[in-house]
Structure 1
Amino acid sequence: MKLNAIDTEELKIIATVLQDGLIEVNDVKYLPSIRTFVVMITRFMWEEKIVNKTNYRTKAVLVFEDVLAAHARNIDQMDKAKVLELLTFNFYYNKSKNIEIELLFNNDATIKLETEVVQAKLEDQGEPWTVDEINKNNDT
């Protein structure tokens, strides 16, 4: 799967595709010098569940460009192997009229990105594999 988003409506599609995605803290990178935020996600393949009634996961890369700032809350960044479960995204405009994109995880963890425009890409990497359950933190 390969998706691009240039507005919040398209970003909602990416958020839906990534629901229940698993992310290791070590696989989250903000590169301020090039204003890029990158996440490697083990995503649940909802499209396979709906069409074929099978449970698959695959690795995917999510990239946000033109990111002015990134802030984490309730995430122990020293615990590199910690696995977070992505629930959804929130979007809103802040006082500076910039867009804030919140990635919401289990255990009240969040990553907030500030950007002037929505510019995101999601691309699957490698071959999918079968899993028994949707929310299983040991299948990353």
Structure 2
Amino acid sequence: MTEDARFEDGGDKPLNLGALDAEDLKVLSTLTQDAVFPATEMQWIPGERRFAVLLNRFRWEDLQAAKARKRVVERVQSLLVIDNVVHVASQGVVRSDEDTILSLLSVAYTPGEDADGVIELMLAGDGGIRLQIEALEVSLRDVTRPYGAPSKSAPHHDV
């Protein structure tokens, strides 16, 4: 019998996930919601057709355990990599300013006619990054140990 993975199954192990379709990408979008990163931590490598960003990701998968154990909530540095990128455009993003901190709200995918499409990284403050891709291939990998969130609280959004 096969069953879906649960958050509890991951324990404190670092995430290493991939997305090859729209449903997979929704999971990565949820896990990266409210990640923050300096604008200087994004890189597009046209020769490799790869876009990468080093995120300080809120550990949503650990929130319930942190509350139950009455310990501080955590963030972790994670590498979000999008492959098969043929064009990158942004709006409301000043990459040259080392003090600019961006907040990722969601990662959305709009399919094209074939395997191509567009991935949009929606940022707080009406900013965004648009990636034209030839095929959907995205990965999210934790690259450091978790650390206490500086705010000591989970992100929240006023509706």
TM-score (norm 2): 0.79
User: What's 1:4 paired with?
Assistant: 18
Shift of 1:77: 1.8
Residue number among 130, 133, 136 corresponding to 2:153 in the alignment: 133
Q: Is 1:70 paired with 2:84?
A: no
* d(CA) in 2 for partners of 1:97, 1:115: 9
Indicate the percent of aligned positions where both proteins have the same amino acid.
Answer: 27
- Letter matched to residue 79 of structure 2: V
Residue 86 of structure 1: which of 104, 108, 116 is its match?
104
Instruction: Please say which structure displays the higher CA radius of gyration.
Output: 2
Instruction: Report the AA paired with residue 133 of structure 1.
Output: S
Contact 1:22 1:85 in 2 (8 A): yes
The size of the alignment, in residue pairs, is: 135
Is it true that 1:56 corresponds to 2:74 in the alignment?
A: yes
- Alignment partner of 2:54 out of 40, 45, 48: 40
Which position in structure 2 is the counterpart of 1:116?
134
- Structure 1 residue identity aligned to 2:48: I
**Deviation at residue 76 of structure 1 after TM alignment:** 1.1
Cα distance in structure 1, aligned partners of 2:52 and 2:115? 23
Q: Which runs of 4+ in 1 moved over 6 A?
A: none
Structure 1 regions of 5+ residues with no counterpart? 136-140
Where structure 2 has 5 or more consecutive residues not aligned to the other structure, the ranges are: 1-14
Q: 1:93-128: per-residue Cα shift (whole Å, max 9, x none)?
A: 357873101000111010001112110111001111
RMSD: 1.6
